[in-house]
Amino acid sequence: MNSVQRTNIRKHLEEKLTELVKRVQSRDTAVESCADDNEYASRISEQKINLALHVRESELIAALEETIGRVEHWDFGICEDCGEEIAIARIKANPTTRFCVSCQSRMEEDQLGRVG
């Protein structure tokens, strides 16, 4: 991976991180006074969804921050399992990935084998 590709990936990650942080900060998770029980139940359901999204987005923020820190390291873009270079198309599609397609597929198949 060359320095231009690293710079572009870093810029993309930073833009995505900024967008995500704004979204998390603007999400309303409070349940205010409600006219009746039905409205209250609807608000509670909405709050649960918002909280789940908040948790998911917070985890993604942490992953993005960690990945931004790794972009300039020599091992960014190298599969943590097999040590081969991760395809640039995969990194563009999922910049937080740590595994090549082959290793990721194998790990997912192993997990499915243990579940089923």
What pLDDT score does 114 carry?
79
pLDDT value at 27 more than 90: no
Q: Quote the crossing angle between the two packed helices 37-70 and 3-26, to the nearest 10°.
A: 160
pLDDT value at 32 more than 90: no
What pLDDT score does 99 carry?
96
What pLDDT score does 112 carry?
87
Q: Residue 35 — pLDDT band, cuts 50, 70, 90?
A: confident
Using the Cα atoms of residue 23, residue 8, residue 70 and residue 87 in order, give the sign of their dihedral: positive
* Residue predicted with more confidence, 32 or 66: 66
| CA gap 72, 69 in Å, rounded | 7
